[in-house]
Structure formats: structure tokens, C-alpha cells
Amino acid sequence: MTEAARDPRTVYLADYRPWSHLVDRVELCFRLAPKGTKVAAKLHMRPNPAARGRHVLRLDGEGLRLITLKLDGALLDLTPDETGLTVPADLLPECPFLLETEVAIDPETNTALEGLYMSRGMYCTQCEAEGFRKITFYPDRPDVMARFHVRIESDLPVLLSNGNPTASGEGWAEWDDPWPKPAYLFALVAGDLVAHRGGFTTRSGRSVDLAVWVRPGDEDRCAWAMDSLIRSMKWDEEVYGREYDLDVFNIVAVDDFNMGAMENKGLNIFNSKYVLASPESATDDDFARIEAIIAHEYFHNWTGNRITCRDWFQLCLKEGLTVFRDQQFSGDMRSHAVKRIEDVAVLRARQFREDQGPLAHPVRPESFVEINNFYTATVYEKGAELIRMLKTLVGDEGYAKALNLYFSRHDGEAATIEDWLKVFGDATGRDLTQFALWYSEAGTPRLKVAEAWQDGSYTLTFTQETPPSPGQPVKAPKVIPIAVGLLNPNGDEVLPTTVLEMTGATQSFRFDGLAARPVPSILRGFSAPVVLERETSADERAFLLAHDTDLFNRCEAGRSLAREMLIAGLTGGEDLLPAWRDALARLIRDDTLDPAFRALALRLPSEDDIAQALHQRGHTPDPAAIHAARRAAGDALAQALAADLPGMIAGLGAGRFAPDAAGAGRRALRNAALALLARVDGGAAAQSAFAAADNMTDQTGALAALLDIGQGAAELARFRDEWGHDANVMDKWLSLQVALAAPDRAAAQAETLAADPGFDWRNPNRFRAVFGALSGHHAGFHQAGGAGYRLLADWLLRLDPLNPQTAARLSTAFETWPRYDAARRDLIRAELERILGQPGLSRDLAEMAGRMIA
């Protein structure tokens, strides 16, 4: 039994019941003030026929000062409790009625950044998942969908809400949203903002006014966000047949924001870090991420808003699907292979890690204490992998049919995963009973491979096994689409990519009529989110790195070669370093290969990845040894390539900056080469690259190369002089110093940066810049003695009373504790216990610490 199940506040999927009433229309009036904002709400309601019998009316509400309450015009004298307000059943008519409330709230003191809050003088909201209850009394659940009319009164010049603007005057504006929506999609913004405007005409001829709203001074950094939005709108029409459905679409950039962005209907609110970009201030990665997040939030208009989730257990219904859609979009805009390689790297680093530790949970969880703790890599990224597998299994045509049916059948509804799978069943005739296990069982399946060769017949035998996870000791076999290709020893492909469908615990597939024993390329394109355990020679991995026609698997061959080399070095195995180094050096010199691909292939597995792999094989990872081994490998490669690097760097340089995939790929490879060269030239090349940089990618690339070899003090100072006024850019300065510190310096570096009086730790981006970097510094965070653990716990406890959501999120740094030695485990346990013992600890952090320790 997990901690979640013991907490009296636990919510269970099995307890779902429709709400007692229906809300036909909501009229809201806001009189904004930093203290004492008045929110008047008129809820037009009637009993819900689906909830048979007479019911009390229970409204959610937290931290609201109730001023008046009226039912059909008559005052009611009822007192709210801590979590809401109950109107007894005998007071309620059995026909439509009007409930009116007026409450007061204080956005100025709302540091949790949930509900209505202030960020540098501007009012904004974040309601997903359960923030609307901090604004007014309301059935704050996604299956209650209503039409909203909003009036805002304020002296601020720009007043925005969902839907279309209907009227405005001196100090007020009104908005009407014709589409019924759940409260979590409500949004309001008021501030002194300027717009970067654009327009889009939908394919049926609706003309839409687009605007990106930012603070005065930031308007020259909005063009990329606008461009990305327009491309997203077009793509969704062309690929999914989905058109936009309002006259305006607004995006607002906010500096204080817990997450990336939010898809509020017609009024997306973004962390400013994911909107603002210019070549000088944003890296290629920033440009790519902005494009992806703008697309993600826009795509939610259909997958999330028009069709929403019945309850929060169904979160992956909108998030998994929308992540998959944004991945498809980015692949179409850039390179599919490169995008897939990057997405899988993130999946392994975050989701596999989560899936193997105490926080493992199914893509559709069955219970939670605090829903904000379930906006996880599992729900999002593994959720997207499930959609990808479905598409592989039913084919492109089947997928298109299923999606069309989904949109037509469920438009305007709050749906479930059962609805989603039924659509696929109905559209394609496929039985998805076994596939549904992917949604209900946590854990990453391990896939073992055995080969047999006889008389021209080649047989692959796969065995699958999913390790136990909290509350789920035994797992059933899953449907696994395994994309396979076969190569001849001369490098020719004898079997192009073919999808094998594995359904049993063990299953064989035979390929006949082959002239020679082939080399298999297994799990092409990463066709399923599994750990492939295949023992094979370094030669064969090097062969695939040189010859595989599937670019994903080509890169994967290099990665597995590096992993085996590092693990062998750490566990006293064979010395594979020369084999790896030579194979990589050949690849890097191959100018026919896309630079972006070469840059990715050059990346060594992260220290955390190596620790994960060691643990999986029954070894206890030693963070200091992993760090040293990885550095030694980098040094060896740098020496082997020393003569080539200066020419490569020169050849890849310059040209005017454009944030396209080709330019980004050249810069990525150039920066990778620069980092290698720094290992052998003492940083000379990186220093001149820093001095010459005219864009942020080159500037941070050169700075990182210097910090990585223990230099860069002068460059850090220059960077601060240049960018000190820009907090989002300075986050890079903070992160790099922690991320690239020597392991025994990382915690002290984070501590020093955080102690600076100018460090605004209440801002989530700042907090993450320093402490996210610390927890991402594997050898630094896990420094023997536990200084990293203590520092992080101190700061989580400091942040928790102000912003529990962000504190809880960063606590996942501790989730890998079971991998390590007894001394480290004890140190981490002591910190988790210290956190749990804190009086007044938030529900968010209590749930996380409790689950990790359980």
C-alpha cells in the first residue's frame, strides 16, 4: 500500500460520480485590486439528470472571503468551510435556479501562483488543475462545462479574458466565450502590456486577430512566437483538419509562472521564458522549445479544450495526445530523426528514471493526493509514446480515421481513456484490451533478445518483463510494436523496417531465405518505450553506427557503444574505449552526415543515465567514478580528434543567424567540437569564440566549454555586464555555473549564487536555474557527505510555504535514492524525514516526500 492510499485526502478514480448539477452559464465580474479584489459570480444552474435523486450543492472554494450569497435573489446565510460551501438539498429547487456569490481575494499575497495572482504589477491566473476554487465558489472539476461571460474592472490599460471581446470602455472590458468549458480553462489578464500583432485566416474563411502580449520593451522579441503560432494553426488544419474557433487568439508572457504554459481558451498564458526570443538572447534550443510549446498550447484547443477530460485521472487523454501532436509538428518543421533522438533522450532521462523509482505511477494513475504532483513525465511523455504506439499498430490511415471519429463523437464533451480506446476499436476494428494495460500498469518493460541462425533462417526471440512498481507487484505481458530491419554484413539492407507485434511474454519471429546471417537493427525509431537488453559485440554496434539506414538506431548504436564502454570501464570489464573512440571519430569526420545528427551522436550518455544502467544490472553506482570515467572518455575522444577540430570549427562557423534546423545543427556540432577542443587547447579557441559570438547559442556554447575545463571567470563577468538586466538570460548564467562546477564545488556554487541578495528565489525560473541545475549535476548532487542533499532540502523547505507546487516538483531530485550505497541512502532518507517533519508542510511536498520514502 502506497503513502497516497493512506492519506485521508486521497482521491480515487474508482470514486468518480457525475456532479449533482449542470451549469448552463456563468457571469463573472472582477473588480481588481491587489488586496480585496471583488469577484461576483452568477451561476445559472439546474439539477443534473445523470445524478439521480436530490443532492446537496457542494461548491469548491479555498481562501475566499464570502461577502454575499443569494439563491434566486434571496440572501442565504451559510458559512463556508476550509474547502468550500455546501447548500443543503432542501433549499434547492428542482428546476433551473440562479446562485449568486460575491467574494474578496488578495492577488498580491498569492505567492503560490495558482488562482489569481500578481506578477510584476500585472494580474494573471493559473487555474489548471484546481486553481479556480481560489477565485470563486464553483464546481472546480473538468466535467462541469459552462459558457462564461466575464467583466473586468480595472484602471490597467489591457484587460483580457477567454473568448471574444464584446464591449469595453474607460476602466472596463467584457469578454464572452461561446464554447462551454471547464473552470480550469478560465483565464484573466490585466496589465500594462503591449501587443505584437498578427493575423490568420482559417481555411473556412474566419479571420482571427492574433496577439502576443508582453511588457513594454519586450516587443522586439515576439516575432518567433507569432511565427510559430501561425505555423501551428496551419499545421493543425492540414494534418488533423482542426480549425480555430474564435475571432481572437491571445498569448501573454508572464515572468512568475510555475510551469511552461497554459492553454486557457483563446488566452494562452506563458512563462515568459517560452515566448521571448531574439538571436542575441535565445539559444537554438530556446527557439525550438518556444516553437514546440506554442504549438502544444495551441493544439490543446482541440485536444483538451473542445474535448476535455472527465476527471484528472484522465489527464493523459489531453496531455499525452497533445505532446504527441507537438512532437509530430516539430518533426515536420525540422528533422524527424533528430527530433526523435532528442525526444527519446528526454524520455529516458526523465520518464524511465521516474518509472524505476518510488514515484513510478501508471500513465493513468488511480489515486492521488495532490493532482499537481501528477503533471509528470509519465503522464506527458510516456502518454505520448502510447499514442505513437497506437498509431504504429493501426497504421496512418487507421489513426486518421480514429482521430476524426474522436473529434466528431466527443466534441464538447469531457472524455475518458475508455472513450479514446473505443474510438480506435470502432474505427479500425482492433481489439485494444491488451493495449489498455499500457495505461494502467507502471514500469518500463525490459525486452531481451535472443538470435538463432540456421540454413538461411534467422530467428529473433524476444522476452518481455516489467519490474514491480509501487502497488503493482506483478505485471502482465504488453503489446509491443517492435520495428526491425535486417542488414547484410556488407551493410546492405535485406529487410526494410518491419513492425513485429509482440503480445506474449516470449515470442519468436522468423525470417527465411537469407543468404547470410544478418545484423539486426531492433526497435527502430524507438517503436516502443522499453529498455532493450541486447548483448552484442562492440564491433556490431560500430557496424550499425556506420551502416544502419534508420538514423535513430544509428545514433542509438553509438550511444549503446558508449554506454557499454563506460560500464565496462566502471565494472572491470574489457577496455572498449579505443573501439568507441575510433568509431565516433569516423562518424564525426563524415561530412555527408547532417551536422545536427553528428552533434547528437557525439553526446555521451549522461552520468544519471549511466547510474541508471548500472543499477539495472545490479551494480551500485559510484557518482564520482562515473564522473571521472565520462570525463576520461571525453578527453580520449578530444585527443583523437585534436587535429581535426580547429578545421571543423572554422568550417561550421558564421553566416547570419537564422533559427532554422540546418543552422541550429551546424551550431550544435560546432559547440560540441569547441567543448572537445577546450580539453586539449586549454580553452584558447573557446575564448576567441566567446569574444566573437553574435548570438546566444555561440555565446553560451563557448562559455560552457570554458566552465567545463575550470575556466571562464572573465567571460562570466562579461556575460553579467551584458545581460544583468535580463533575468531570463541570467538564468543561463546561473545554471551553467552550477551544472559545470567540479563535483566537490557544485553545492557550494549553488549556495553562493542563492545567497546573493539580488537572487529572487521566489521566482520559479530563478529557483529552478540554481536548484534544478544542482539536482541535475549528478556527481555534485550526490557528493559523499550529503552537502547537496542538505542544501536542496533546506531550500525546498524555504520555498514550500510560499510555493508548494514548485517545491514539490523539485523534490523529485531525491527519487533515485534506491540506486545508491547505504551511506547515501541514509543521508537522503534523513533529508526526506526532515522534510516530512516540518510543521505546516504543504500537501504537495508531503505527498512527494511520503511516496519517496515509503
Catalytic annotation, pick one of 62, 263, 297, 354: 297
| Cβ proximity of 808 and 848 under 8 Å | yes
**Which residue, 261 or 685, is less far from Zn ion as judged by CB?**
261
Give the angle subtended at the CA of 538 by the CAs of 534 and 539, to the nearest 5°: 115
The H or E element that residue 533 is part of is strand 531-533
* Among the listed residues 29, 27, 28, 32, the one whose alpha carbon sits nearest the alpha carbon of residue 157: 32
- Nearest distance in Å: CB 101, ligand ARG: 24
Query: Rounded distance, CA 788 to CA 745, Å?
Result: 10
> What residue ranges bind ligand ARG (CB under 6 A)?
128-129, 258-259, 261-263, 296-297, 319, 372, 375, 805
Considering the complex, what minimum distance in angstroms separates the CB of residue 319 from ligand ARG?
Answer: 6
Considering beta carbons, is residue 368 or 375 the nearer one to ligand ARG? 375
Q: Whole-angstrom Cα distance, residue 727 to residue 315?
A: 32
Residue 385 DSSP label: H
From 215-223, 311-319, 347-355, 443-451, give the range in contact with Zn ion by CB under 5 A: 311-319
3-state secondary structure 793-821: HHHHHHHCCCCHHHHHHHHHHHHHHHHCC
φ and ψ at residue 678, rounded to 5 degrees:
-60, -30
Site for Zn ion in 34-63 (CB under 5 A): none
Residue numbers 516-545 binding Zn ion by CB under 5 A:
none
Closest to ligand ARG by CB, 261 vs 828, is: 261
Note whether 286 and 272 are within 8 A (CB): no
Nearer to Zn ion by Cβ, of 232 and 322: the residue is 322
Q: Which is nearer to ligand ARG, 97 or 138 (CB)?
A: 138
**Residue 129 contact partner, candidates Zn ion, ligand ARG, none, CB within 5 to 8 A by sort of partner:** ligand ARG
Minimum distance from residue 296 beta carbon to ligand ARG (Å):
6
Q: How many residues bind Zn ion (CB under 5 A)?
A: 2
The DSSP call for residue 334 is S
Of the pair 422, 762, the CB lying nearest ligand ARG is at: 762
Bridge-partner residues for 432, per DSSP? none
Q: Which is nearer to ligand ARG, 21 or 296 (CB)?
A: 296
- C-alpha–C-alpha distance, residues 590 and 641, integer Å: 13
Q: What is the closest distance, in whole angstroms, from the C-beta atom of residue 580 to Zn ion in the complex? A: 38
Partner whose binding site includes residue 576, from Zn ion, ligand ARG, none (CB under 5 to 8 Å by kind): none
Q: Which does 608 bind (CB under 5 to 8 A by kind): Zn ion, ligand ARG, none?
A: none
Residue 146's binding partner out of ligand ARG, Zn ion, none, with CB under 5 to 8 Å set by partner kind? none
- The Cα angle at residue 56 between residues 51 and 60, in degrees rounded to 5: 95
DSSP 458-485: EEEEEEEE---BTTB-------EEEEEE
Beta-carbon-side half-sphere exposure of residue 98 (alpha carbons within 13 Å) = 12
List, as one string, the DSSP characters of 17-62: ---SEEEEEEEEEEE--SS-EEEEEEEEEEE-TTS-S---EEEE-S
Query: Rounded distance, CA 158 to CA 309, Å?
Result: 31
Q: What are phi and psi of 537, to 5 degrees?
A: -80, 160
Closest contact distance (angstroms) between CB of 158 and ligand ARG is 23
**φ and ψ at residue 525, rounded to 5 degrees:** 60, 10
Pick what 251 binds: Zn ion, ligand ARG, none; C-beta below 5 to 8 Å, kind-dependent. Answer: none
Nearer to Zn ion, 129 or 447 (CB): 129
CB 284 to ligand ARG: min, Å? 22
Least distance between ligand ARG and beta carbon 262 (Å): 5
Give the three cell numbers for residue 233.
494553426
- Is 297 catalytic? The answer is yes
Q: Which is nearer to Zn ion, 242 or 541 (CB)?
A: 242
Smallest distance from the beta carbon of 127 to ligand ARG, in angstroms? Answer: 9
Q: With beta carbons less than 8 A apart as the criterion, state whether 409 and 50 touch.
A: no
Residue 204 to residues 207, 230, 410, 796, Cα–Cα distance (Å): 9, 16, 22, 51
Distance CA 772, CA 811 (A): 10
Least Å distance, CB 268 to ligand ARG, is 9
Q: How far apart are CA 363 and CA 169, in angstroms?
A: 47
Active site residues: 297
Which positions touch Zn ion (CB under 5 A)?
A: 319, 322
